[in-house]
Amino acid sequence: MAYVDDFPTDARIVRWNMAVAFISLGIGGLFGMIQALHRTGIFRGFVSSADYYTVLTGHGVLLALVFTTFALSGLFTWGVTRSLDRPLPSPRFTMGWFALMLLGSIIAAVTILGGLVPSMPFKADVLFTFYAPMQAHPAFYIGLVFFVVGSWLAGVDWFRAYWGWRKDNPGERIPLQTFMVLVTMLMWYISSIGVAVEVLFFLLPWSLGLIEAVDPLLTRTLFWYFGHPVVYFWLMPAYFIWYTVLPKLSGGRLFSDPLARVVFILFLLLSTPVGFHHQYVDPGIPEGFKFIAMTNTMFLLLPSLLTAFTVVASIEHGGRQRGGEGRLGWLRSLPWDEPAFAGCVLAGLMFAAGGFSGMINAGMNINYLIHNTLWVPGHFHLTVGTASALTFMAAGYWLFPQITGNRLRFRSLATIQPYVWFIGMTLMSNAMHRAGLAGVPRRTAEPQYDAVSFQGVVGGISEMRLQIAIGGTILFIGLVLYLIVIFGTWFGGSGNDTLRVNSSLPAPLSGPEHSPKILDNLKLWTAVAIVLIALAYGLPLWALVSDGLLAPGSPPIPV
Ligand code: HAS
Ligand code: CU
């Protein structure tokens, strides 16, 4: 029996979420290629340099916010219903949050694209970080509100399914996939309050003309309070796949369920009190609190380092189960021609590199070297653009047959697609990192600054530009291949072929019985997370608002 037979209504919701995710990925990816060609000067015929920022905003919002959140909603709906073995409690409620998120996305996307049509009265060229002093049409913020409230309700839906299960299963450990979903959503509730306050109390009234000015530093701080944890909102669903599906795809079992739980708890505790690492250069935030944020960020490497260990150990176990021997021989016996497996593992390999560039970003002093340069987009195309995006695509290869009941189509395209992505990203991201070190700025349509000569440590600027343009184009090709496979599978019908994916997930080598029960005490961990946030943010926020909510800057505080 496939998932679609057991949970037909939920399978439909998973399909729709994934469909919205991948359509956004297609449009956002097209924008990405246009930018790569434009800013490298290879082809400037698509848009003018003035419209570049509209396209860039569309790219960021559609990919970093819309694609990721819908993919997460699809994966989490699947994971909760599968692991609790019960459908979501109310299909109408489920449709409600899906529709709200979709409506919000459409309003925001149309407002952004209005920037390309001079006769349209609305636009939102504010980039995906949308903080002041840039201002969008009110519709953009209203779209965001719908979108975020929709995501909150999705979490309520998953919690309700869990509470229903809990009533029937008192005293049992929370199934791992549901545990991961609930912890991720708790992290999301705590952190998205920042952006909710920013938008509802400041940006929206300001764009409506109800208040004259906002304090840019305060709104930036509220944004980054949310802006770091949001990256784990993109990463944790990828980890959810690496921990629960990838071991099986490798031919083995998860090495340790307790370690997986510890990792997710660490994310809940540490994702938020680090936001200042995006504001190292902002004046008005006390250096001491930037230092605390840096220290917390370094601790926050731990869950990812633990993940590297646990996931690789699980893959190795799989390789050995498949007959691989010797110190590295197990690598050869892994199913490299299986697109779901290859996608996840290539995503993991790239994330190892992205994690290292993250460590460099996080160092308070080294950050000055790379801040606002092309290094930063290099970093996040390895993280959200590959660790998350390629994993979600890989998960699609495995899930689509289960949620549609159809066999995977165009298998040979699927087999090469993760490698195409990997090659494109290697070219683009590596060159972006190097160009950033040479001082090339991010977020500009005209990065050439003719009076300035950018010196790469190795190689030349024109070679880097070429690599970025070629890499960006290969990535778009990878995306088109993906969409052909996925929508081909969905609409290809089941044919005569009854071949179905074996959808069971094997038990971990070390199960939840090996970990203390306190790990499942979600109230406790949420409380600790809130205390840590109060310590990291209390004083600086108080200083920011003590001279009036709308007054710019903050009086110095003695740290
Ligand atoms: Fe970041 C900027 C620091 C992770 C995304 N980051 C950004 C921005 C984005 C972003 C979008 O401290 C730009 C925002 C903007 O527009 O201004 N980041 C970090 C650190 C981490 C990190 C310390 N970032 C992420 C993730 C993201 C993401 C995850 C999205 C999903 N980042 C920063 C800082 C800045 C920043 C500063 C501000 C820069 C500035 O000045 O503007 C860490 O979480 C990274 C930890 C990761 C590791 C890697 C572990 C390796 C693993 C791989 C396992 C291997 C496998 C494969 C499975 C330590 C888990 C096995 C293969 C076999 C063959 C066996
Ligand atoms: Cu960050």
Q: How would DSSP label each residue in 269-320?
A: HHSSTTGGGG-TT-TTS-HHHHHHHHHHHHHTHHHHHHHHHHHHHHHHHHHH
| 256: β partners | 510
Give the pLDDT score at 452: 81
Active site annotation includes 12: no
Structural domain includes residue 453: no
Residue 122, pLDDT > 90, answer yes
- The DSSP code for 116 is G
Ligand 1 atom 18 nearest Cα: 358
Cα separation, 328 vs 314, in Å, equals: 14
Q: Does the annotation count 267 as an active-site position?
A: no
CA-closest residue to ligand 1 atom 9: 380
Domain of residue 156, residue span? 12-447+460-494+504-558
Separation of alpha carbons 176 and 469, rounded Å: 41
The answer, yes or no, to whether the previous bond of 133 is cis (omega within 30 of 0) is yes
Q: What local confidence, expressed as pLDDT, does residue 499 receive? A: 53
CATH number of residue 17's parent domain: 1.20.210.10
- Which among 134, 383, 442 is the best mutation to test ligand 1's pocket, defined by most ligand atoms within 8 Å of the CB? 383
Any domain includes 499: no
The answer as to whether 324 is a domain residue is: yes
The reply to whether ligand 1 has any atom less than 6 angstroms from the CB of 83 is no
Tell me how far apart the alpha carbons of residues 222 and 204 are, in angstroms, rounded to a whole number.
14
CA distance readout (Å), 350 to 345, 386, 484: 9, 7, 24
Atom of ligand 1 nearest to the CA of 387: 31
pTM of this structure: 0.97
Q: Extract the tokens encoding 255.
A: 């090495």
Tell me the C-alpha distance between 367 and 436, whole Å: 12
Asked if 284 contacts 242 with a C-beta cutoff of 8 angstroms, the reply is: no
Predicted local distance difference test score (pLDDT) of residue 500: 59
Q: Are 540 and 557 in contact (CB under 8 A)?
A: yes
User: Which phi and psi angles does 159 have, rounded to 5°?
Assistant: -65, -40
Q: Could you tell me if residue 18 is inside a domain?
A: yes
408 ligand 1 Cβ < 6 A: no
The letter for the amino acid at 498 is T
Is residue 5, in this structure, part of any structural domain at all? no
Of all atoms in ligand 1, which is nearest to the CA of residue 361? 37
The answer to whether the CB of 379 is under 6 A from ligand 1 is yes
How confident is the prediction for the chain on average, in pLDDT? Answer: 95
Set 442, 454, 465, 537: catalytic member: 442
Residue 519 counted as domain residue: yes
Question: Does any domain span residue 3?
Answer: no
Q: Give the number of the ligand closest to the Cα of residue 250.
A: 1
Q: Whose CA is nearest to atom 22 of ligand 1?
A: 358
* Catalytic residue from among 38, 39, 82, 228: 228
Q: pLDDT at residue 318 above 80?
A: yes
C-alpha 253/C-alpha 275 separation (Å) is 35
Arithmetic mean of pLDDT, 286-312: 97
Closest CA to 442 of 380, 381, 377: 377
Distance CA 435, CA 461 (A): 7
Average pLDDT estimate for 464-469: 96
Among 197, 198, 313, CA closest to 246: 313
The answer to whether 195 touches 151, Cβ cutoff 8 Å, is: no
Q: 277 catalytic, yes or no? A: no
131 Cβ below 6 A of ligand 1: no
Q: Is 277 in the pocket of ligand 1 (CB under 6 A)?
A: yes
Taking the CA of residue 482 as centre, how many other CA atoms within 13 Å lie in the half-sphere pointing to its CB?
33
Q: What is the DSSP letter of 7?
A: -
* Chain-centre distance for alpha carbon 338: 24
Torsion of CA 109, 112, 116, 117, to 10 degrees: 80
Phi-psi region of 442 (alpha: psi -120 to 50; beta: other; left: phi over 0): beta
433 catalytic? Reply is no
Confidence band (pLDDT; 50, 70, 90) for 87?
very high
pLDDT tier for residue 205 given thresholds of 50, 70 and 90: very high
Residues 408-412: what's their mean pLDDT? 94
Split into its structural domains, the chain has a count of 1
User: Beta partners for 441?
Assistant: 373
